[in-house]
Structure formats: C-alpha cells, structure tokens
Amino acid sequence: MNLWGVLVFVAVLCVTTCSLQTDQRHWKDLAEKELHEALQVKWNLGTAKNVIVFVGDGMGPNTVTATRIYQGGETHRMSFEKFPHVGLLKTYSADKMVPDSACSATALFGGVKSNYGTLGVDATVRRNDCSASLNKEARLNSLAALALNAGKSSGLVTTMRVTHATPGPLYAHAASRSWECEASMPSNAKQCKDIARQLVEDWPGRDLHVVLGGGRQVLVSNSTGTPDDPISSWSCYRQDGRDLIDVYKKDKETRGLRYKVVSNTRELENVDDNVEYLFGIFANEHMKYEFERNKGPEGQPSISDMTKVAIKILKKNPNGFFLMVEGGNIDMAHHRGRAKTAIDEAAAMERAVQLAINMTDEEDTLIIVTSDHTHTLTINGYPERGSSIFGIVRESPFDQVNYTTLSYGTGGPGSFQYSVETKDGETRVMRRDPSKEDTESFMYEQIAAIPLDENSHGGGDVAIYARGPHAHLFHNVHEQHYVYHAVAYAAKLGPYSNAYSTQISLGVIFMTVLIPFL
C-alpha cells in the first residue's frame, strides 16, 4: 500500500472511530443531562395558591409521542415533558371499561367515578335519570366550586362548547351530557335544568370569573350563523326563547360586578384590567381547528390567547385561583380519524402550557397536564429516524401495499380503506395504497381496522405531568379521581383545608418536645 493509500485508510478509520465516539457521547450527554435534572428535584411542600389543570381531550400517550416528534423530532421534549413529576391515570368509569369525556372529567374534577354519559353526579345516577340527578347527595362539588368557597377565583377555557362534556362537570349536574340545552331534553326530564342554564343561572357557574369557548347556539335561542360560523345540526340548538348571554349580563349588572362579554379576538385582547368577570363565546358550535381558524382580529382566538387573558384576570385575586384549560379539538380530530389535525391541536395546547409556565411562579402555582382518555391511535413499525410522523413507512411484505406510520384501531367510514378484489379466480381483501394520497394533509384520514360511525375512545392509561406545590403527589399509577383529592390537598381546599397543617404541627411537636428526650 502506497503512502496515499495509507493516508486514506487512516482517514477512513478515524472518521469511523470518531463518528462512533461522537455518537456515544451524544447518548451519554443526553442521559447525564437527565440524571442531573433528576438529582436536582426537590419536593415543594408549599401550598398551591394557584392551580391550572390542562386537559388534552383524547391526548393519550401515543398522541403525546407523535406530537413530540411533530414538534421537534424523537429527542425533543415538550414543555410539560420537563415537569419533574409524572404518573399514570386509570380512566375506566363506574360502569364502562372505556369512558367518555363526561364521566372522566367528573372523576378529575368531582373526585368520584361516575357512569358513562353523566356529569357532575355520582354513580347512583344512571344516564338519562333526571329525578336521580336532583338528589342533593348525588351532586358533586367540583374543584372550581371548592376554590370559590375558599375565596379564590375560578375559570375555564375550552376550544369546545362551554357546555360540553369536559367543562360541564365544573359547574353542572346532569344525568346526560347531551342535555346542553332544552331542545335535547326528553319530556320526562323537564324538572331538570339544561347545562347551559346551570352555567348562567346557578352556583357555581354564575360565579365563575372566566368562561371562554364556543357554544352560542346552546346559549341563545334561534341563533343565526354565518358562512364561516354556521349553526350545527349535530349539536343542541336552543329554541325556548331564552338569551342566556343577556341573562349573564343582567345578573352581573344587578350585583354591581365589573364584567365583559366578548365574541372575537380583538374584543378579547382589549379586555381592560378592571374586568372581574369575563364571558367569551367565539363560535356557534365548537371553535375551529387551529389550522383553519381566522387568525385576524375579527376571528376566533387561539387556546393560548384565551389562556393568557384568563390568567391575567384570575391572578388579580390575592387568594389565588383555579383554572381549567381544555384542548378539546384533539379529541374532535381523532374522532374524525385525522391524526395530523389532532396532533396539531395538541401542539397548540402545548404552547398554551408554555405560556402558563411563563406567567406563573413554580413556587406557588401547581400546573398539571393530563388527559381524560386515550384514542385508538397507534405508531407503527419501523419508520426511519427523522422521517415525518405522518409519512409512509414502507411496503408491507405481506400484501405488497404501503402503510403509514400512524393508524387507528377504530374509525369512521372514510378510514376503512379496504376493498375486496377478485383476480385470476382468487378473492383477496386489499388495502388502499396511501402513497397515492396526501398523507401530510390535515384532512387525511388514517386507515382503521374496525369501521364504526367514528373513531372511538381508547381504554388505556393516560399520563399526568405536574410541577409546583405538592406535584410529587403524582408519582405512580393512580385512579383518575385521585387527581381531585391530590389537587384539593395541595391547595388546601374543601375537606383538605387543614390536612397538612395538622401534619406539620405534629411534626413540630415531635421535633421540639420529644427529640430532646431521645
């Protein structure tokens, strides 16, 4: 081998060896950074003056993973993934292995497991049983109600109708999540109030300091839509002559409270510092997906826009506040089988989490990020590192048809991409080739194994991420309704108002009285 050949050989050997060492150093650096973070974690035993609970509706672990990759690749970490304390929640309801959002939100905010389709009531109330829901013993006091009783401010932000299944249990008690307005209630339930009326007329709904989301058509009789914001025939449409937004205004005026009602981004941004009560309804139905909303001043605000103003108003209370923020369109997109839209909505909620982190102090604010249930989204093997999470993996060696990284266990008619073909006397079930479609589109529906009317929820555990006072209470596999009790304990609310002050007092007695004699 001549000198040139030796130099080339040495260069190749060095590049190979150096590359290997660099690769090892990369992984070791990642691990050492995480180890350093872990060693710095200390329990915050203070009282949670403020509590913010983010609920990514339908944001199961696979949605979180896909959103992480979408945001910045496999090694990226989203804001809430850096929280020091993480656990898992079991999401089954009192009567179902796989829950809906009403019963799972009731568990989160009401502290007990309830029946599928019911909200703000315990498991003695079966779905559609109006008379049982009127039993005071069956009605639950939510975290929002406990906060109000403690002199704190309370509020909710959602991209859904403000009367929908996740926000509903914060203020309402209903034997059916469908009873958002009177038009959806059966004749044998007339003695029960619809959810919208409970929000505006009853406590604690009428005393919530911030209510932001969609749902004008369940609040105002015979609402009119626009081409950009039409009336939905799919959800409840109030027809009893009531204008509950007007009722809200009159209630605040009668009580001499400083309030504001807003309906678009411009009005929301112009809310002044004197406002104590804010009611914002930005859509007839659910609010638009982030990718399609009008981002101009006359359009609908983002979840971050709403969260920012909510915290600004609530934090004026020296006693602190409770705020629930729901990224509801994650769930809506999953129900349609549109994984990219769902993941883009999860990314939008993650930006709101980062904003909340920036606006609050970890010393006195407990921030929780979790979900109410999973969906049937799966991440399939074996795509290359760095490839699009919405891309195509490769051709299946079984049927010689390409397949996507993401798919669903269940889905609507558009996601059942199979057909029966007969060729040369042989009948085969064939999949549609996704390489012939735009899998990067927000409207693309991933393939599903089982056809239903829409994608169903999943029954898997969901993650819970926490930082702030008593965040360490979320540390292993928990029952979903445990969240209510842990939050109430951390913030000294309701039955836990004196819980750990007693523990501290006993500890002080032990340290000062008994130890000297040991």
Does the annotation list 129 as a binding residue? no
Distance, CA of 14 to CA of 27 (rounded, Å): 20
Q: What are phi and psi of 54, to 5 degrees?
A: -95, 130
Contact between residue 303 and residue 157 where contact means Cβ atoms under 8 Å apart = yes
- The span from the CA of 93 to the CA of 380, in Å, is 29
Residue 423: enclosing H or E segment and its boundaries? strand 418-423
Q: Is 164 annotated as a binding residue?
A: yes
Beta bridge partners of 448: 408
Cβ count within 10 A of residue 222: 12
100 near 480, Cβ under 8 Å? no
C-beta of residue 80 within 8 angstroms of C-beta of residue 353: yes
Has 178 been annotated as catalytic?
no
Q: Is 433 annotated as a binding residue?
A: no
85 annotated among ligand-binding-site residues = no
Known binder of ligand: residue 373? yes
3-state secondary structure of 117: coil
CA distances from 174 to 33, 94, 179 (A): 48, 16, 7
The verdict on whether residue 326 carries a ligand-binding annotation is yes
Which structure tokens are listed for 514? 């008994």
Cβ atoms of residues 274 and 256 within 8 Å: no
CB 214 within 8 A of CB 160: yes
Catalytic residue among 79, 101, 232, 371: 101
Any known ligand binding at 335?
yes
Supply the DSSP symbol for 435. G
Q: Catalytic positions, please?
A: 101
Q: Which residues are annotated as a binding site for Mg(2+)?
A: 57, 164, 166, 326
Binding residues: 57, 164, 166, 326, 331, 335, 372-373, 457
- List residues forming the annotated binding site for Zn(2+): 57, 331, 335, 372-373, 457
